[in-house]
Structure 1
Amino acid sequence: MGIVLLFFLFIFSLLPSQYSAQLYNITPSKPLALGQTLVSPGRIYELGFFSLSNSTNRYLGLWHNNIYPRKFVWLANREKPLSSADTSANLRISSNGNLELVDGKQNSVWSTIEVSSSNSTSAVAVLLDTGNFVVKDDMGADEFIWQSFDYPCDTMLPRQRLGFDSKSGKRYVLTNWKSDNDPSMGIFSSGLSAETPSQVFVWINNGSTPHYRSGPWDKSKFIGVVDKDSQWQYLSGYTLEDDVKQGTKYLSYYNLVDNITGYTEMSSDGSVRLMYSENGKNWSAVLKISNNACDIYGTCGPFGVCKASESPICKCLKGFVPKLHDEWNKGNWTGGCVRQTKLFCERQTNISVSTTGKQDDGFLKMARSKVPDHHVYISSLGDADTFEDCKMVCLKNCSCLAYAYVNTIGCLRWFNYLIDIQVFPSEGEDLYIRLAQSELVEAKPIKLIASLTAIGFMSLLAAIVFGLYRLRANQKGKKMKWSREGLLEYIGKHDSSELKIYDFDSILIATDSFNIKNKLGQGGFGPVYKGMLPEGKEIAVKRLSSSSGQGVEEFKNEMLLISELQHKNLVRIMGCCVKEDEKLLIYEFMPNKSLDTFLFDPTKRAVLDWATRFNIVQGVARGLLYLHHDSYLKIIHRDLKVSNILLDEKMNPKISDFGLARIVEGTQILENTQRVVGTRGYISPEYAMGGIFSEKSDVYSFGVLVLEIVSSKKTASFYLYDQQLGFLAYAWKLWKEDRGLELVDEILGDSYSSSEVMKCVHIGLLCVQDNATDRPTMTDIALMLSSEIDGPQPKEPLFTIPNSVSYPKPQYENIDSSKNEASITVIEGR
């Protein structure tokens, strides 16, 4: 009988958790036994006993409930596994209030030995919906006696901390598994460095040897982490808390998107991955660092620079040569490089600071760099408040070998040696390397060559001016003509290999010769038609009006720009087509067309319930966050409006129409243009009045968009004659009088979340503030939308002149205006 009972207990222990008994807490009188699991209140996480495949060991661990493949995010006994033959092991609260894992012989296998509770009978262990397994006093105390978040294994969950407390000596680091089937500690660990600003390191051999580093923290991200294809920044919001007085540094993150669950994992090979699951589906990787040879710390040695796209990947910095030529030529670059020409300041024996003269040292700019390790940060604004200050501080000290001025950090300098430099394909920082003057300039040409060069330059300049004049005249006299070959050559020059070139005849067949029945809409660029490719795939074809010379530059801009952007909230371009005057862009088909077809239609807007509207707001925010911060190209859209938000079959939003978008440099804040483009009602004051555009111009348009989505009122046509109020002034008045909910579209009735509505109105009014610096960034907005964090109180928007009132208007040019306002509005700036 005993053998039969043991057999059934063994079989029961192997059953999946859905067949196990589930507990919601562990008390001194109620331990967790084999075959039982502890679940969090929302059934998000589960804790229990498990065995890995092909292993006779058993562990107590924690995992996400119902997301596969199962990921064990925390283990209690990773170094002391139980035997799978032990069927009597349990997790209990001991007499001193500690959690204790005991085997079948009641021997302690694992325990929270540092915990001591004076009232052990009131101790209770629970699993929170954050994934934190805690012991607390059941008598009402809010503080945790012990928590698993303080003892990470190889996984970091949202709201869990990585870092250290220098006063107590506690460190919170990740340590990898030895292998996929052995969770005991491997050779890699990961944590925060103590310097300012901090970096994330992956170390080997108990932290003695660096394996990877992230680059310094710039208040929103680590500047050495560049991955153009990842979505990690808009999925997760990272924060780094540095309390100098307390001696603590903590890195944590949280999911910016409600339906996203994620974790950060250190793999057995030392790489770090950010994984996510959307709506409980299987895990996907959105970021992997330390995944190429250049990511390995010091691959090219001191004064070497690594570029993964080249072969060989290592080169010496300009002005340096390999220290060990034979080893370098064999591909062993760790010995690094040495300076070829001695610095001028080093040859000055009487003074330590170089004097101004023709032989002074200078700096060579290296763009798109991962800055070296061992930076020295200047926190005093008086010493290095600007780029020039940073340069001079470095120049005056002969030991300063390089500097970088990062807008979001300040001045960084390097001494002794430069190691772990990498050049990225995009993003990165400008690094300035100190070199002797002879390494920076070429020998001066003789006077004759200089004279000939000057003459040649003037001749070339004259030819360019004349050519531009003729080109402009030709463009006025006739329309620009493109050939298929010319298009292929243009695309080839801009490296858009994934952009397909369609045959014009095939597009004619797909659209039934642009039959009016297939017309989806009309915009400033031209009409848009629905089409069907031979393989059955539906497409949308945007056709540049052949009777107009407008839009050629916009066509090229959109054709190449969108092909480089990949995000679920941006419309995807499939290809293009050119034949004589015909210029076509082919997109994925959006069955629900644009947002304005629902939002401003009295009969259709009821389809947009509040959940759908809020999802659209969040999706547009994620798309803009990608354009402004996460794409390797920094994009300002410049024409964000309701008619440029397309809806897929599930009513998910996709930002479209990038013909007017502009690429800006990563450090660029403002740009001035003589040609103001956009749509009236969505254009920010500084852009409309002075031609100044920035990311905050898109933020302004987003604010108008959000308020329109809440209210189903169109900013361009709304006006209260009795109160002399335009749309933004009306929204502000309701907010100021605590009547913000009155802005909600009446067709929703009471079926909406008042807190979400007020959050949207709040965000909308923050975005449309007159002063661009007062407006939040898209990072701030994404955080506010996905958390309980409130932004500051908005200021009254004064630039709210309604369109219905007579006032001096600038010269607008509405190209092919339509009822859905899908037009290009041009203001000639002063």
Structure 2
Amino acid sequence: MKTKLLLLLLMLLLVLHKPIWTLASPYPLAPSPQGPPFSPFPNSMSASSPAIVMGAEEQQIDSHKKMVIAIAVASTSLGAVILSVLCIWIYHSKYPSKSKGKNVQRSDAEKGLASSPTLSKFSSIKLVGKKGCVPIIDYKQIEKVTGNYKESNILGEGGFGCVYKAHLADNLEVAVKKLHCENQYAEQEYENEVELLSKIQHPNVISLLGCSSNEDTRIIVYELMHNGSLETQLHGPSHGSALTWHLRMKIALDTARGLKYLHEHCYPPVIHRDLKSSNILLDTKFNAKLSDFGLAITNGTQNKNNIKLSGTLGYVAPEYLLDGKLTDKSDVYAFGVVLLELLLGRKPVEKLAPAQCQSIVTWAMPQLTDRQKLPNIVDPVIKNTMDPKHLYQVAAVAVLCVQPEPTYRPLIADVLHSLIPLVPVELGGTLKVTQLPQQVLPANPHEDSSP
């Protein structure tokens, strides 16, 4: 930008160079087409020699005056041009264009994953091509590193397949999702996830490392999240014992940051559509990352005719379940359910009888707004470990997020701003505390708590 402006200034100087000296010259370059210049003296006076001398001197003085005036005018014009160019340069330096702003925003997001592993860095991994910008890994190598999909390596199960833990060469641990794409829906989810994750880069979104395929089998390789899913931590064998109040608020904050990126910083915006505790993964420091983008869609492409009604019972927003209406507020509803899980330690849907279930929203809503009842329904693991004001604030945020009417729900950006003051600075928020709880992290943070 600076170089272009300097070249523009130089061109202006070259253009102005000739006219400046033309104006400053006391002698015309060519006779005027209208005849000789007008003389203020009558013709009779030019016959006498003293009058001629005096006339010549006055003419010379007049010419010098014109030259001075011309130089002054030209200098003023040049100064104005230089000042204008300088103002334009300062403006562009201070206020870059919107397109440039978007590029900066994307590059900032990319910095968040600068330290994440990419398979192209490891020479021992056999790559057989690329799918867009995603490395394609040799399928036989995937079979080998998963122990031919050994059952003991299973980290979790989904609708179309399982996720396996694998050790690649160069001491790289990864998670391998194996999908059985025997129908169009499974194939569509695979294509959708690879395409979206290849474009999404954020510290709170899972990193896609590569993919592979063999006949009807599709493989997606991600970074390994050593502490498994939030669902496993809350509802697994440990029953949330590793998650302190502050860690739970950190996980909620990280999740909100990931959603805000999808809703406000992706072009076009992305709706996750399947946000739940099993799709929130935790690394060794309990940083939370959104995963499983098979059902995600870009905002504006959805309608009742071109998308299949999908989601998980307990997390699906009422307007989507009843009318097929899907917006970013649908993700906000699901986030509210996750927040209730963190707060109460209960599953999103619990069985009351063989043919009867109750959602956490229906059960908790009457008690969340009652300050006397609220402390009694909090997860016993974190009961009495937080500032009561913070407890009431989180409960209020959850209540707003799970409102039946989507227009009453806040934007995820508003949720994010409400949670930041509740998370200690050491964990990514702005809360300053003199001493964190004794067990901020579990005794062995590297222990894989996945089943």
TM-score range, shorter chain: 0.5 to 0.7
Q: Cα 1:725–1:681, aligned 2, differ >3 Å: closer, same or farther?
A: closer
Determine the C-alpha separation between the residues in 2 that align with 1:209 and 1:542.
Answer: 51
Letter in 1 for 2:320: Y
Deviation at 1:230, TM superposition (A): 4.4
Q: 5 Å matches for 1:164-175?
A: none
Determine the C-alpha separation between the residues in 2 that align with 1:614 and 1:736.
Answer: 19
> TM-score, normalised on structure 2?
0.65
Q: Which runs of 5+ in 1 are unaligned?
A: 1-202, 217-221, 233-274, 277-283, 285-483, 789-830
Determine the C-alpha separation between the residues in 2 that align with 1:586 and 1:731.
Answer: 38
Deviation at 1:681, TM superposition (A): 0.8
Deviations 1:635-671 (A, max 9, x none): 1000000100111111111100000000125xx8x74
Deviation at 1:750, TM superposition (A): 1.9
* 1:755 and 2:389 correspond: yes
Deviations 1:181-221 (A, max 9, x none): xxxxxxxxxxxxxxxxxxxxxx98579963346489xxxxx
Q: Is the 8 A contact 1:741 1:758 kept in 2?
A: no
The answer for the alignment partner of 1:518 in structure 2 is 153
Q: 1:543 aligns with which of 167, 178, 182?
A: 178
The answer for the alignment partner of 1:435 in structure 2 is none
The answer for the alignment partner of 2:347 in structure 1 is 714
Q: Give 1 or 2: higher strand fraction.
A: 1
Determine the C-alpha separation between the residues in 1 that align with 2:390 and 2:207.
Answer: 29
The answer for the alignment partner of 1:764 in structure 2 is 398
* 1:688 and 2:338 correspond: no
Deviation at 1:694, TM superposition (A): 0.7
Q: Is the 8 A contact 1:527 1:545 kept in 2?
A: no
Determine the C-alpha separation between the residues in 2 that align with 1:787 and 1:603.
Answer: 28
Deviations 1:205-258 (A, max 9, x none): 579963346489xxxxx78731342458xxxxxxxxxxxxxxxxxxxxxxxxxx
Letter in 1 for 2:91: P
Determine the C-alpha separation between the residues in 2 that align with 1:566 and 1:552.
Answer: 23
SS at match of 1:211: helix
Q: 1:705 aligns with which of 327, 338, 344?
A: 338
Q: Cα 1:578–1:755, aligned 2, differ >3 Å: closer, same or farther?
A: same
Deviation at 1:784, TM superposition (A): 1.4
Deviations 1:240-280 (A, max 9, x none): xxxxxxxxxxxxxxxxxxxxxxxxxxxxxxxxxxx99xxxx
Identity of aligned residues (%): 33
Deviations 1:558-581 (A, max 9, x none): 011111111111110100001112
SS at match of 2:253: helix
Q: 2:139 aligns with which of 504, 518, 522?
A: 504
SS at match of 1:677: coil
The answer for the alignment partner of 1:210 in structure 2 is 91
The answer for the alignment partner of 1:527 in structure 2 is 162
The answer for the alignment partner of 1:649 in structure 2 is 284
> Larger Cα Rg: Structure 1 or Structure 2?
2
The answer for the alignment partner of 2:366 in structure 1 is 733
Deviations 1:454-512 (A, max 9, x none): xxxxxxxxxxxxxxxxxxxxxxxxxxxxxx99x85xx3xxxx32x11000111111111
Q: Is the 8 A contact 2:349 2:358 kept in 1?
A: no
Q: Cα 1:719–1:758, aligned 2, differ >3 Å: closer, same or farther?
A: farther
Q: Cα 1:212–1:747, aligned 2, differ >3 Å: closer, same or farther?
A: same
Number of residue pairs aligned between Structure 1 and Structure 2: 320
> TM-score, normalised on structure 1?
0.36
Deviations 1:793-824 (A, max 9, x none): xxxxxxxxxxxxxxxxxxxxxxxxxxxxxxxx
Q: Cα 1:208–1:512, aligned 2, differ >3 Å: closer, same or farther?
A: closer
SS at match of 2:176: strand
Q: Cα 1:671–1:550, aligned 2, differ >3 Å: closer, same or farther?
A: closer
Q: Is the 8 A contact 1:719 1:726 kept in 2?
A: no
* 1:786 and 2:415 correspond: no
The answer for the alignment partner of 2:209 in structure 1 is 574
Q: Is the 8 A contact 1:719 1:727 kept in 2?
A: no
Q: 5 Å matches for 1:332-481?
A: none
Q: CA RMSD in A?
A: 3.1
Q: Is the 8 A contact 2:350 2:358 kept in 1?
A: no
Which protein, 1 or 2, shows the higher relative CO under an 8 Å CA cutoff with sep ≥ 6?
Answer: 2
Deviation at 1:764, TM superposition (A): 1.2
Deviations 1:614-645 (A, max 9, x none): 10000000000000001234110000001001
Q: Cα 1:567–1:208, aligned 2, differ >3 Å: closer, same or farther?
A: closer
The answer for the alignment partner of 2:225 in structure 1 is 590
Q: 2:378 aligns with which of 708, 730, 744?
A: 744
Q: 1:226 aligns with which of 92, 102, 107?
A: 102
Deviation at 1:756, TM superposition (A): 2.8
Q: Cα 1:579–1:711, aligned 2, differ >3 Å: closer, same or farther?
A: same
Determine the C-alpha separation between the residues in 2 that align with 1:549 and 1:205.
Answer: 59
Determine the C-alpha separation between the residues in 2 that align with 1:744 and 1:205.
Answer: 62
Q: 1:616 aligns with which of 240, 243, 251?
A: 251
Determine the C-alpha separation between the residues in 2 that align with 1:519 and 1:208.
Answer: 58
Determine the C-alpha separation between the residues in 1 that align with 2:181 and 2:261.
Answer: 33
The answer for the alignment partner of 2:269 in structure 1 is 634
Q: Is the 8 A contact 2:314 2:359 kept in 1?
A: no
Q: Is the 8 A contact 1:676 1:691 kept in 2?
A: yes
Letter in 1 for 2:106: D
Letter in 2 for 1:211: H
Deviation at 1:601, TM superposition (A): 2.5
Deviations 1:528-577 (A, max 9, x none): 11111122201110001266665100000001111111111111010000
Deviation at 1:729, TM superposition (A): 2.6
